[in-house]
A and B are shown apart, each in its own frame.
Chain A
Amino acid sequence: KAGVTQTPRYLIKTRGQQVTLSCSPISGHRSVSWYQQTPGQGLQFLFEYFSETQRNKGNFPGRFSGRQFSNSRSEMNVSTLELGDSALYLCASSFGSGGHYEQYFGPGTRLTVT
């Protein structure tokens, strides 16, 4: 089974620009979640998508948005980048049915805003 893939792996952007990150989940997983990881704040939940619908959103400004396509691939977008958006962005795909649950994380996209 192919793992969760994220593209690009590294990205350098300038303040004010926008960026789009992509996540391809495990085949058969319909839930995709995004997290921001920084040294100061740790891992923080951004949003979760299930079957193309945003199911939950974390406490982030409206500059952070996302979407999910019919093939479960997901993208997140950050507009008007700020220096504080520099972070590792992780996505995870999951599947749960009855007592069975599995969740896998991608390698992350390292975003640097200068």
Chain B
Amino acid sequence: AQRVTQPEKLLSVFKGAPVELKCNYSYSGSPELFWYVQYSRQRLQLLLRHISRESIKGFTADLNKGETSFHLKKPFAQEEDSAMYYCALNGGSQGNLIFGKGTKLSVKP
């Protein structure tokens, strides 16, 4: 079955500390994975796709097929990074996304 698991509901770190948001997936084919972010009172927005291999707002994510993981990382967290983060898997077509339950990141001053 296709599934995305984000084991942490809440992650709290101090400003300047490294942050890693975990995401594990279950998919039989070649996965396409995404990270989405939702800041308070804002729309859900695409943060990055594993295919593009970009660094957005200092965040990176590497697909590890062996561990079926796609963890989101940032070396130095900022207070403005506080938000809800969702990992998602392409379930077969462009808009067919399977979302994890999300991790709320809180960056304390």
Contact = CB atoms under 8 A, between A and B. Distances in A.
Is the A/B pair a real complex?
yes
For chain B, the bracket of interface size reads 20 to 34
Nearest to B102: A42
Contacts of A48: 93-96
B95 A104 contact: no
Interface stretch (B12-20, B22-30, B43-51, B68-76): B43-51
A43 B95 contact: no
For chain A, the bracket of interface size reads 20 to 34
Given A42-B102, A43-B86, A105 B95 contact: no
Interface of A: 3, 31-33, 35, 42-45, 48, 50, 55-56, 58, 90, 92, 94, 96, 99, 101-108
7 pairs of A and B residues whose beta carbons are closest in the complex: A33-B95, A48-B95, A43-B99, A56-B96, A105-B44, A42-B101, A56-B93
Interface of B: 43-46, 49, 51-52, 86, 88, 91-102
B94 A50 contact: yes
A104 B45 CA distance: 6
Contacts, number: 65
B93 A35 contact: no
Contact of A44 (B45, B51, B95, B99): B99
Given A90-B44, A106-B43, A45 B94 contact: no
B95 A45 contact: yes
19 contacts: A3-B43, A32-B95, A33-B95, A42-B99, A42-B101, A42-B102, A43-B88, A43-B102, A44-B99, A48-B93, A48-B96, A55-B93, A55-B96, A56-B92, A92-B95, A99-B52, A104-B45, A104-B46, A108-B43
Contact of B95 (A42, A56, A102, A106): A56
A94 B96 CA distance: 11
A35 B52 contact: no
Contacts of B92: 56
A103 B91 CA distance: 16
Q: Of residues B51, B94, B96, B97, which shows the largest number of chain A Cβ atoms within 10 Å of its Cβ?
A: B94
